[in-house]
Copies of this chain bind each other. A is one copy, B any other.
Amino acid sequence: MGIRHIALFRWITGTTPEQVEEVEEALSRLPGLIPQLRGYAYGADLGIGSGNYHFAVVADVASEADFLAYRDHPEHQAALRVIRPLLADRAAVQFNTLEG
């Protein structure tokens, strides 16, 4: 069993590709810095579905304690400081997965 954390973001109007790249750059550092992360995937929406959010982050961890360690980790908090000013909307779920 494990836990999958998902966060979907809708950016504010006027968010630039360069700002999204900064988000991706900040997130790209986290798997190497946060040992609790078993799996980490993120990226911009591909434009296939209408009305979609703009970006997704998926973190796979082993337990609630590991999720909280990720959530509260200084490097994750630093990434959130890049993300928060760009947020129009955020939708999140943490659920149990069979993997791990």
Contact = CB atoms under 8 A, between A and B. Distances in A.
B94 A6 contact: no
A52 B5 CA distance: 11
A64 interface: yes
Number of copies: 2
What does DSSP make chain A's interface, helix, strand, loop or mixed? strand
A41 B92 contact: no
Interface size band for A: 20 to 34
Interface of A: 3-4, 6, 8, 10, 41-46, 48-49, 51-56, 58, 64, 67-68, 89, 91-99
Closest 8 CB pairs of A and B: A43-B95, A91-B91, A56-B93, A45-B93, A8-B91, A41-B97, A48-B94, A46-B94
